[in-house]
Amino acid sequence: MELILKIIGIILILAVSTLAGFLKAYCLKERETALNEVCISLKELKERIRLERSKLDRLLKICFGDCLCISGKEPIIKKDGLEDQDKELLYEYLSLAGMSDAAAECERLELYIHLFEEKCIKATEKRSRLSKLYRSSGFLIGLFICIFIV
Amino acid sequence: MANTSSFDSALYGVCERLKRILCFLPEETKAKTDEIRLRSGLPLALTADGQTLFLKPDGQTCRKTSLPLITASKDDLEESFRLLCDNSVYAHTSELENGYIMLRSGCRAGVCGTITENGYMQDISSINIRIAREVYGAADALLGHYKGGFLIAGPPGSGKTTVLRDMIRQLSGEERLMRVAVIDNRGELSGSYLGQASCDLGKNCDILIINNKAKGIEIATRTMNPQILAFDEIATVAELEKVTESFFSGVDIITTAHIGNVNELMTRTVTKKLLQSGAIATVAVLPKNRAEKAAVYDVKEILSGAYT
Protein backbone atom coordinates (compact mmCIF):
# COMPACT_ATOMS: atom_id res chain seq x y z
CA MET A 1 0.00 0.00 0.00
CA GLU A 2 2.79 2.37 0.91
CA LEU A 3 4.58 1.57 -2.31
CA ILE A 4 1.48 2.26 -4.38
CA LEU A 5 1.03 5.62 -2.64
CA LYS A 6 4.68 6.46 -3.28
CA ILE A 7 4.34 5.60 -6.97
CA ILE A 8 1.19 7.69 -7.26
CA GLY A 9 2.97 10.56 -5.47
CA ILE A 10 5.99 10.32 -7.80
CA ILE A 11 3.77 10.30 -10.87
CA LEU A 12 1.85 13.30 -9.57
CA ILE A 13 5.01 15.26 -8.75
CA LEU A 14 6.53 14.45 -12.14
CA ALA A 15 3.31 15.37 -13.92
CA VAL A 16 2.89 18.68 -12.07
CA SER A 17 6.49 19.78 -12.47
CA THR A 18 6.56 18.81 -16.16
CA LEU A 19 3.26 20.63 -16.67
CA ALA A 20 4.66 23.69 -14.92
CA GLY A 21 7.66 23.66 -17.23
CA PHE A 22 5.45 23.26 -20.30
CA LEU A 23 3.13 26.06 -19.11
CA LYS A 24 6.03 28.41 -18.63
CA ALA A 25 7.27 27.61 -22.14
CA TYR A 26 3.73 28.03 -23.48
CA CYS A 27 3.49 31.50 -21.86
CA LEU A 28 6.60 32.56 -23.75
CA LYS A 29 5.09 31.34 -27.02
CA GLU A 30 1.76 32.97 -26.24
CA ARG A 31 3.40 36.32 -25.56
CA GLU A 32 5.34 36.12 -28.82
CA THR A 33 2.13 35.35 -30.74
CA ALA A 34 0.19 38.13 -28.96
CA LEU A 35 2.90 40.71 -29.70
CA ASN A 36 2.97 39.68 -33.36
CA GLU A 37 -0.80 40.05 -33.55
CA VAL A 38 -0.62 43.49 -31.93
CA CYS A 39 1.97 44.57 -34.52
CA ILE A 40 -0.18 43.34 -37.41
CA SER A 41 -3.28 45.01 -35.93
CA LEU A 42 -1.47 48.32 -35.42
CA LYS A 43 -0.21 48.26 -39.01
CA GLU A 44 -3.73 47.60 -40.27
CA LEU A 45 -5.06 50.39 -38.05
CA LYS A 46 -2.50 52.80 -39.46
CA GLU A 47 -3.47 52.01 -43.06
CA ARG A 48 -7.17 52.26 -42.31
CA ILE A 49 -6.72 55.65 -40.63
CA ARG A 50 -4.65 56.82 -43.57
CA LEU A 51 -7.12 55.63 -46.22
CA GLU A 52 -10.55 55.34 -44.59
CA ARG A 53 -10.58 57.99 -41.87
CA SER A 54 -13.44 56.16 -40.12
CA LYS A 55 -14.14 56.54 -36.41
CA LEU A 56 -11.56 55.13 -34.05
CA ASP A 57 -13.84 52.77 -32.13
CA ARG A 58 -15.01 51.18 -35.40
CA LEU A 59 -11.44 50.80 -36.66
CA LEU A 60 -10.29 49.31 -33.34
CA LYS A 61 -13.09 46.76 -33.56
CA ILE A 62 -12.07 45.81 -37.10
CA CYS A 63 -8.34 45.59 -36.36
CA PHE A 64 -8.37 44.19 -32.82
CA GLY A 65 -11.76 42.51 -32.50
CA ASP A 66 -13.03 42.48 -28.92
CA CYS A 67 -9.55 42.60 -27.36
CA LEU A 68 -9.40 46.34 -27.31
CA CYS A 69 -11.81 49.28 -27.12
CA ILE A 70 -12.16 52.77 -25.78
CA SER A 71 -15.00 53.32 -23.34
CA GLY A 72 -15.42 57.06 -22.81
CA LYS A 73 -11.88 58.24 -22.11
CA GLU A 74 -10.65 54.92 -20.70
CA PRO A 75 -9.02 52.30 -22.93
CA ILE A 76 -9.88 48.67 -22.14
CA ILE A 77 -7.36 45.98 -23.07
CA LYS A 78 -8.43 42.35 -22.89
CA LYS A 79 -5.72 40.68 -24.97
CA ASP A 80 -4.41 37.38 -23.58
CA GLY A 81 -0.71 36.61 -23.52
CA LEU A 82 0.52 40.16 -23.04
CA GLU A 83 2.58 41.06 -19.99
CA ASP A 84 1.84 44.14 -17.87
CA GLN A 85 4.58 46.19 -19.54
CA ASP A 86 3.12 45.34 -22.98
CA LYS A 87 -0.36 46.40 -21.87
CA GLU A 88 1.07 49.62 -20.44
CA LEU A 89 2.59 50.50 -23.80
CA LEU A 90 -0.70 49.81 -25.56
CA TYR A 91 -2.53 51.81 -22.91
CA GLU A 92 -0.10 54.68 -23.50
CA TYR A 93 -0.98 54.70 -27.22
CA LEU A 94 -4.72 54.41 -26.65
CA SER A 95 -4.95 57.19 -24.05
CA LEU A 96 -4.12 59.77 -26.73
CA ALA A 97 -5.33 57.87 -29.79
CA GLY A 98 -7.50 59.71 -32.27
CA MET A 99 -6.73 63.18 -30.99
CA SER A 100 -4.58 64.42 -33.86
CA ASP A 101 -4.87 64.78 -37.62
CA ALA A 102 -4.36 61.78 -39.92
CA ALA A 103 -0.67 62.41 -40.68
CA ALA A 104 0.26 62.81 -37.01
CA GLU A 105 -1.88 59.80 -36.10
CA CYS A 106 -0.03 57.64 -38.63
CA GLU A 107 3.36 58.89 -37.39
CA ARG A 108 2.40 58.10 -33.82
CA LEU A 109 1.25 54.63 -34.85
CA GLU A 110 4.55 54.12 -36.71
CA LEU A 111 6.40 54.80 -33.45
CA TYR A 112 4.32 52.29 -31.47
CA ILE A 113 4.58 49.70 -34.27
CA HIS A 114 8.37 50.07 -34.07
CA LEU A 115 8.32 49.67 -30.26
CA PHE A 116 6.15 46.56 -30.46
CA GLU A 117 8.30 45.07 -33.23
CA GLU A 118 11.34 45.43 -30.94
CA LYS A 119 9.40 43.66 -28.21
CA CYS A 120 8.47 40.91 -30.73
CA ILE A 121 12.11 40.32 -31.63
CA LYS A 122 13.14 40.09 -27.96
CA ALA A 123 10.20 37.79 -27.20
CA THR A 124 11.18 35.48 -30.09
CA GLU A 125 14.80 35.34 -28.87
CA LYS A 126 13.65 34.64 -25.32
CA ARG A 127 11.34 31.88 -26.48
CA SER A 128 13.99 30.17 -28.59
CA ARG A 129 16.50 30.44 -25.75
CA LEU A 130 14.35 29.42 -22.79
CA SER A 131 11.46 27.35 -24.05
CA LYS A 132 13.30 23.99 -24.24
CA LEU A 133 15.07 24.82 -20.99
CA TYR A 134 11.76 25.32 -19.14
CA ARG A 135 10.28 22.11 -20.56
CA SER A 136 13.25 19.97 -19.66
CA SER A 137 13.80 21.75 -16.31
CA GLY A 138 10.22 21.04 -15.31
CA PHE A 139 10.70 17.34 -15.84
CA LEU A 140 14.16 17.25 -14.26
CA ILE A 141 13.13 19.21 -11.17
CA GLY A 142 10.20 16.83 -10.71
CA LEU A 143 12.57 13.89 -11.08
CA PHE A 144 15.02 15.37 -8.56
CA ILE A 145 12.23 15.92 -6.02
CA CYS A 146 11.07 12.34 -6.50
CA ILE A 147 14.58 10.98 -6.01
CA PHE A 148 14.98 13.20 -2.94
CA ILE A 149 11.74 11.99 -1.45
CA VAL A 150 12.37 8.34 -2.29
CA MET B 1 -45.54 69.21 -25.19
CA ALA B 2 -42.45 71.08 -26.31
CA ASN B 3 -40.14 69.34 -28.80
CA THR B 4 -36.87 68.90 -26.95
CA SER B 5 -35.49 65.91 -28.85
CA SER B 6 -33.17 68.04 -31.03
CA PHE B 7 -31.70 69.69 -27.92
CA ASP B 8 -31.25 66.41 -26.06
CA SER B 9 -29.67 64.68 -29.06
CA ALA B 10 -27.07 67.46 -29.36
CA LEU B 11 -25.95 67.04 -25.73
CA TYR B 12 -23.71 64.04 -26.46
CA GLY B 13 -21.09 66.54 -27.59
CA VAL B 14 -21.08 68.39 -24.24
CA CYS B 15 -18.78 67.37 -21.37
CA GLU B 16 -20.31 65.38 -18.52
CA ARG B 17 -20.25 68.18 -15.94
CA LEU B 18 -22.18 70.66 -18.12
CA LYS B 19 -24.40 68.00 -19.67
CA ARG B 20 -25.83 67.16 -16.24
CA ILE B 21 -26.88 70.80 -15.83
CA LEU B 22 -28.26 71.21 -19.35
CA CYS B 23 -30.32 68.00 -19.08
CA PHE B 24 -32.38 69.52 -16.31
CA LEU B 25 -33.30 72.74 -18.10
CA PRO B 26 -37.06 73.38 -18.42
CA GLU B 27 -38.57 71.90 -21.58
CA GLU B 28 -39.63 75.34 -22.76
CA THR B 29 -36.06 76.57 -22.66
CA LYS B 30 -34.79 73.48 -24.46
CA ALA B 31 -37.42 73.84 -27.19
CA LYS B 32 -36.47 77.49 -27.82
CA THR B 33 -32.68 77.03 -27.70
CA ASP B 34 -30.92 77.36 -31.07
CA GLU B 35 -27.32 77.30 -29.86
CA ILE B 36 -25.24 76.05 -26.94
CA ARG B 37 -22.03 78.02 -26.60
CA LEU B 38 -19.00 76.89 -24.61
CA ARG B 39 -16.15 79.35 -24.22
CA SER B 40 -12.97 78.65 -22.26
CA GLY B 41 -13.08 80.49 -18.95
CA LEU B 42 -16.36 82.22 -19.79
CA PRO B 43 -19.99 81.62 -18.80
CA LEU B 44 -21.90 78.87 -20.59
CA ALA B 45 -24.37 80.60 -22.95
CA LEU B 46 -27.54 79.59 -24.76
CA THR B 47 -29.09 81.42 -27.71
CA ALA B 48 -32.87 81.26 -27.63
CA ASP B 49 -35.26 83.41 -29.68
CA GLY B 50 -32.31 85.54 -30.74
CA GLN B 51 -31.37 86.32 -27.14
CA THR B 52 -28.34 85.18 -25.15
CA LEU B 53 -29.06 83.42 -21.86
CA PHE B 54 -26.59 82.37 -19.17
CA LEU B 55 -27.03 79.72 -16.52
CA LYS B 56 -26.89 80.30 -12.78
CA PRO B 57 -25.58 77.54 -10.48
CA ASP B 58 -29.19 76.66 -9.54
CA GLY B 59 -29.89 75.87 -13.23
CA GLN B 60 -32.03 78.97 -13.82
CA THR B 61 -31.39 81.11 -16.88
CA CYS B 62 -30.63 84.82 -16.71
CA ARG B 63 -29.31 87.62 -18.88
CA LYS B 64 -27.07 89.35 -16.34
CA THR B 65 -23.35 88.68 -16.39
CA SER B 66 -22.84 90.26 -12.96
CA LEU B 67 -24.40 87.26 -11.17
CA PRO B 68 -22.48 84.07 -10.36
CA LEU B 69 -22.77 81.94 -13.51
CA ILE B 70 -21.82 78.44 -14.66
CA THR B 71 -18.53 78.67 -16.52
CA ALA B 72 -16.89 76.33 -19.02
CA SER B 73 -13.28 75.49 -18.21
CA LYS B 74 -10.46 74.53 -20.60
CA ASP B 75 -10.87 70.90 -19.50
CA ASP B 76 -14.59 71.07 -20.27
CA LEU B 77 -13.81 72.25 -23.79
CA GLU B 78 -11.20 69.56 -24.33
CA GLU B 79 -13.58 66.86 -23.15
CA SER B 80 -16.40 68.27 -25.30
CA PHE B 81 -14.12 68.39 -28.34
CA ARG B 82 -13.13 64.77 -27.78
CA LEU B 83 -16.80 63.77 -27.48
CA LEU B 84 -17.79 65.75 -30.57
CA CYS B 85 -15.08 63.97 -32.57
CA ASP B 86 -15.91 60.54 -31.08
CA ASN B 87 -12.22 60.23 -30.15
CA SER B 88 -11.39 60.52 -33.86
CA VAL B 89 -10.16 64.03 -34.66
CA TYR B 90 -8.43 62.76 -37.83
CA ALA B 91 -11.85 61.69 -39.17
CA HIS B 92 -13.03 65.32 -39.04
CA THR B 93 -9.94 66.97 -40.57
CA SER B 94 -11.72 68.40 -43.62
CA GLU B 95 -14.56 69.72 -41.44
CA LEU B 96 -12.15 71.27 -38.92
CA GLU B 97 -10.29 73.05 -41.73
CA ASN B 98 -13.60 74.86 -42.28
CA GLY B 99 -14.10 75.39 -38.56
CA TYR B 100 -16.93 72.97 -37.80
CA ILE B 101 -17.81 69.36 -36.87
CA MET B 102 -21.00 67.57 -37.91
CA LEU B 103 -22.78 65.87 -35.05
CA ARG B 104 -24.50 62.50 -35.20
CA SER B 105 -27.88 64.18 -34.66
CA GLY B 106 -27.49 66.38 -37.74
CA CYS B 107 -26.54 69.41 -35.64
CA ARG B 108 -23.35 71.27 -36.36
CA ALA B 109 -20.70 72.48 -33.93
CA GLY B 110 -18.63 75.51 -34.88
CA VAL B 111 -15.14 75.32 -33.38
CA CYS B 112 -12.71 78.14 -32.65
CA GLY B 113 -9.11 77.71 -31.66
CA THR B 114 -5.66 78.01 -33.18
CA ILE B 115 -5.31 76.98 -36.81
CA THR B 116 -1.77 75.78 -37.57
CA GLU B 117 0.10 76.34 -40.82
CA ASN B 118 -1.09 73.03 -42.24
CA GLY B 119 -4.70 73.87 -41.46
CA TYR B 120 -5.02 71.75 -38.32
CA MET B 121 -7.21 73.17 -35.50
CA GLN B 122 -5.80 72.94 -31.97
CA ASP B 123 -6.11 74.66 -28.55
CA ILE B 124 -9.90 74.81 -28.81
CA SER B 125 -11.16 78.00 -27.16
CA SER B 126 -14.87 77.92 -28.01
CA ILE B 127 -17.50 75.56 -29.32
CA ASN B 128 -20.88 76.61 -30.67
CA ILE B 129 -23.34 73.73 -31.02
CA ARG B 130 -26.09 74.80 -33.43
CA ILE B 131 -29.22 72.79 -32.92
CA ALA B 132 -30.80 71.74 -36.20
CA ARG B 133 -34.57 71.99 -36.21
CA GLU B 134 -36.91 71.16 -39.00
CA VAL B 135 -39.95 73.38 -39.24
CA TYR B 136 -42.57 71.71 -41.37
CA GLY B 137 -44.56 74.35 -43.20
CA ALA B 138 -41.90 77.08 -43.01
CA ALA B 139 -42.09 77.51 -46.80
CA ASP B 140 -45.89 77.24 -47.11
CA ALA B 141 -46.38 80.96 -47.72
CA LEU B 142 -43.66 81.04 -50.41
CA LEU B 143 -44.40 77.93 -52.42
CA GLY B 144 -47.38 79.50 -54.10
CA HIS B 145 -44.96 82.04 -55.65
CA TYR B 146 -42.61 79.37 -57.00
CA LYS B 147 -42.42 79.52 -60.78
CA GLY B 148 -38.81 78.56 -61.45
CA GLY B 149 -35.58 79.97 -59.97
CA PHE B 150 -36.06 81.13 -56.39
CA LEU B 151 -33.81 83.16 -54.11
CA ILE B 152 -34.43 83.19 -50.36
CA ALA B 153 -32.66 86.24 -48.93
CA GLY B 154 -32.42 87.73 -45.47
CA PRO B 155 -30.14 88.75 -42.61
CA PRO B 156 -28.33 86.14 -40.48
CA GLY B 157 -30.69 84.28 -38.15
CA SER B 158 -33.80 85.02 -40.22
CA GLY B 159 -34.41 81.31 -40.97
CA LYS B 160 -33.23 81.08 -44.59
CA THR B 161 -31.86 77.56 -44.21
CA THR B 162 -35.02 76.40 -42.42
CA VAL B 163 -37.24 77.78 -45.19
CA LEU B 164 -34.98 76.33 -47.90
CA ARG B 165 -35.08 72.92 -46.24
CA ASP B 166 -38.87 72.92 -46.10
CA MET B 167 -39.11 74.13 -49.69
CA ILE B 168 -36.89 71.27 -50.87
CA ARG B 169 -38.96 68.79 -48.86
CA GLN B 170 -42.22 69.98 -50.33
CA LEU B 171 -40.97 70.20 -53.92
CA SER B 172 -39.47 66.70 -53.82
CA GLY B 173 -42.36 65.38 -51.75
CA GLU B 174 -45.36 63.31 -52.73
CA GLU B 175 -47.46 66.14 -54.12
CA ARG B 176 -44.99 67.41 -56.71
CA LEU B 177 -42.22 64.74 -56.81
CA MET B 178 -39.74 67.02 -58.53
CA ARG B 179 -36.18 65.68 -58.85
CA VAL B 180 -34.16 67.85 -56.50
CA ALA B 181 -30.37 67.68 -56.14
CA VAL B 182 -29.05 69.32 -52.98
CA ILE B 183 -25.47 70.58 -52.78
CA ASP B 184 -24.85 70.53 -49.05
CA ASN B 185 -21.32 71.71 -48.37
CA ARG B 186 -21.48 71.55 -44.56
CA GLY B 187 -24.15 68.89 -44.14
CA GLU B 188 -26.32 71.56 -42.53
CA LEU B 189 -29.26 71.32 -44.92
CA SER B 190 -29.61 67.57 -44.73
CA GLY B 191 -28.09 67.02 -41.28
CA SER B 192 -26.11 64.22 -42.88
CA TYR B 193 -23.83 62.07 -40.77
CA LEU B 194 -22.01 59.10 -42.28
CA GLY B 195 -24.35 59.04 -45.27
CA GLN B 196 -27.58 59.22 -43.28
CA ALA B 197 -29.66 62.40 -43.56
CA SER B 198 -31.36 63.26 -40.30
CA CYS B 199 -33.54 65.97 -41.88
CA ASP B 200 -36.46 65.13 -44.14
CA LEU B 201 -35.75 66.49 -47.63
CA GLY B 202 -38.51 64.60 -49.40
CA LYS B 203 -38.70 61.31 -51.28
CA ASN B 204 -37.18 62.47 -54.56
CA CYS B 205 -34.05 64.23 -53.37
CA ASP B 206 -30.35 63.49 -53.95
CA ILE B 207 -27.81 64.91 -51.53
CA LEU B 208 -24.22 65.70 -52.48
CA ILE B 209 -21.93 66.66 -49.63
CA ILE B 210 -18.90 68.47 -51.03
CA ASN B 211 -16.66 71.29 -49.82
CA ASN B 212 -16.37 72.91 -53.24
CA LYS B 213 -19.91 74.04 -53.98
CA ALA B 214 -19.13 75.15 -57.54
CA LYS B 215 -17.79 71.67 -58.36
CA GLY B 216 -20.76 70.13 -56.62
CA ILE B 217 -23.17 72.09 -58.81
CA GLU B 218 -21.35 70.84 -61.91
CA ILE B 219 -21.31 67.20 -60.71
CA ALA B 220 -24.96 67.16 -59.67
CA THR B 221 -26.13 68.77 -62.93
CA ARG B 222 -24.25 66.23 -65.02
CA THR B 223 -24.83 63.06 -63.06
CA MET B 224 -28.14 63.33 -61.18
CA ASN B 225 -30.33 64.83 -63.94
CA PRO B 226 -32.13 67.16 -61.53
CA GLN B 227 -35.08 69.39 -62.25
CA ILE B 228 -34.07 71.63 -59.36
CA LEU B 229 -30.64 72.37 -57.87
CA ALA B 230 -30.77 73.61 -54.29
CA PHE B 231 -27.96 74.87 -52.12
CA ASP B 232 -27.39 77.27 -49.26
CA GLU B 233 -25.65 80.66 -49.59
CA ILE B 234 -24.50 81.54 -53.04
CA ALA B 235 -21.40 83.58 -52.27
CA THR B 236 -18.71 83.38 -54.97
CA VAL B 237 -18.41 84.22 -58.64
CA ALA B 238 -17.33 80.61 -59.36
CA GLU B 239 -20.60 79.32 -57.88
CA LEU B 240 -22.50 81.92 -59.88
CA GLU B 241 -20.88 80.76 -63.14
CA LYS B 242 -21.86 77.15 -62.46
CA VAL B 243 -25.38 78.25 -61.55
CA THR B 244 -25.71 80.08 -64.86
CA GLU B 245 -24.45 77.04 -66.77
CA SER B 246 -26.96 74.81 -64.98
CA PHE B 247 -29.77 77.27 -65.66
CA PHE B 248 -28.96 77.18 -69.36
CA SER B 249 -29.08 73.36 -69.11
CA GLY B 250 -32.71 73.71 -68.07
CA VAL B 251 -32.28 73.23 -64.32
CA ASP B 252 -34.10 75.53 -61.89
CA ILE B 253 -32.11 76.98 -58.99
CA ILE B 254 -33.17 77.54 -55.40
CA THR B 255 -30.63 79.17 -53.16
CA THR B 256 -30.18 81.66 -50.33
CA ALA B 257 -28.23 84.87 -49.88
CA HIS B 258 -27.23 87.01 -46.93
CA ILE B 259 -28.66 90.50 -47.29
CA GLY B 260 -30.05 93.04 -44.84
CA ASN B 261 -32.91 94.26 -47.04
CA VAL B 262 -34.15 94.16 -50.64
CA ASN B 263 -32.11 97.25 -51.62
CA GLU B 264 -28.88 95.35 -51.10
CA LEU B 265 -29.70 92.80 -53.80
CA MET B 266 -28.55 95.13 -56.55
CA THR B 267 -25.62 96.59 -54.64
CA ARG B 268 -23.87 93.27 -53.95
CA THR B 269 -21.97 91.88 -56.94
CA VAL B 270 -22.93 88.21 -56.68
CA THR B 271 -26.65 88.76 -56.07
CA LYS B 272 -26.83 91.45 -58.78
CA LYS B 273 -25.23 89.14 -61.35
CA LEU B 274 -27.41 86.24 -60.20
CA LEU B 275 -30.58 88.25 -60.76
CA GLN B 276 -29.32 89.57 -64.09
CA SER B 277 -28.44 86.06 -65.30
CA GLY B 278 -32.12 85.11 -65.51
CA ALA B 279 -31.66 82.04 -63.30
CA ILE B 280 -33.92 83.55 -60.62
CA ALA B 281 -37.57 84.42 -61.21
CA THR B 282 -38.68 85.23 -57.64
CA VAL B 283 -37.00 86.63 -54.55
CA ALA B 284 -38.31 86.20 -50.99
CA VAL B 285 -36.76 88.48 -48.38
CA LEU B 286 -37.15 87.14 -44.85
CA PRO B 287 -37.35 89.63 -41.96
CA LYS B 288 -35.05 89.45 -38.92
CA ASN B 289 -38.10 88.91 -36.73
CA ARG B 290 -39.33 85.45 -37.67
CA ALA B 291 -42.85 86.26 -36.54
CA GLU B 292 -43.25 88.71 -39.46
CA LYS B 293 -44.14 87.66 -42.99
CA ALA B 294 -41.61 87.39 -45.79
CA ALA B 295 -41.82 89.89 -48.64
CA VAL B 296 -41.94 88.33 -52.12
CA TYR B 297 -40.69 90.17 -55.22
CA ASP B 298 -40.66 89.48 -58.93
CA VAL B 299 -37.08 89.72 -60.25
CA LYS B 300 -38.20 91.99 -63.12
CA GLU B 301 -39.37 94.57 -60.58
CA ILE B 302 -36.04 94.48 -58.79
CA LEU B 303 -34.06 94.72 -62.04
CA SER B 304 -36.17 97.69 -63.14
CA GLY B 305 -34.85 99.60 -60.13
CA ALA B 306 -38.11 99.76 -58.21
CA TYR B 307 -36.34 99.05 -54.90
CA THR B 308 -33.06 100.99 -55.18
Q: Could you read off the pLDDT of B111-167 as tens digits, one per residue?
A: 999 888 777 778 899 999 988 778 899 999 999 999 989 999 998 878 898 899 999
Average pLDDT over residues B292-308: 85
Residue in B with minimal Cα distance to A104: B90
pLDDT in tens, A3-17: 888 888 889 999 999
* Inter-chain Cβ pairs, chain A and chain B, closer than 8 A: 45
Output the CA torsion sign for B28, B198, B255, B93. positive
Across the strands, what pairs with B54? Answer: B45, B62
pLDDT in tens, B36-85: 999 999 999 999 887 899 999 888 888 888 889 999 999 999 999 999 99
Percentage of chain B exceeding pLDDT 90: 40
ipTM: 0.72
Chain B residues in contact with A62 (beta carbon < 8 A): none
How far is the alpha carbon of B217 from chain A, nearest alpha carbon, in Å?
A: 25
In the predicted structure, residue B1 carries a pLDDT above the cut 60: no
How far is the alpha carbon of B91 from chain A, nearest alpha carbon, in Å?
A: 5
- Residue B88 has its nearest CB partner, among A55, A73, A104, at A55
From the list A82, A77, A49, A42, the residue with the least C-alpha distance to A63 is A42
Percentage of chain B exceeding pLDDT 70: 98
Across the strands, what pairs with B128? Answer: B37, B110
Chain A residues in contact with B115 (beta carbon < 8 A): none
State how far the Cα of B208 lies from the Cα of B227, in Å rounded to an integer: 15
Q: How confident is the model at residue B270 (pLDDT cuts 50, 70, 90)?
A: confident
pLDDT in tens, A63-104: 998 887 776 667 778 888 899 999 999 999 988 888 888 888
pLDDT in tens, A9-59: 889 999 999 999 999 999 999 999 999 999 999 999 999 998 888 888 889
User: Of B114-128, B186-200, B208-222, B242-256, which gets the smallest average pLDDT?
Assistant: B186-200
Q: Where do the structural domains in chain B lie, given as residue ranges?
A: 5-130, 140-303
Query: Can you give the pLDDT at residue B121?
Result: 79
Cα B172 → chain centroid: 19
Tell me if residue B180 falls in helix, strand or coil: strand
Q: Which CATH class is domain B5-130?
A: alpha beta
From the list B243, B239, B258, B254, the residue with the least C-alpha distance to B171 is B254
CATH topology of domain B140-303: Rossmann fold (3.40.50)
Residue of A69, A99, A105 to mutate when probing chain B, most B C-beta within 10 A: A99
Question: B85 and A73: CB-CB below 8 Å?
Answer: no
How far is the alpha carbon of B59 from chain A, nearest alpha carbon, in Å?
A: 26
Name residue B135's amino acid: V
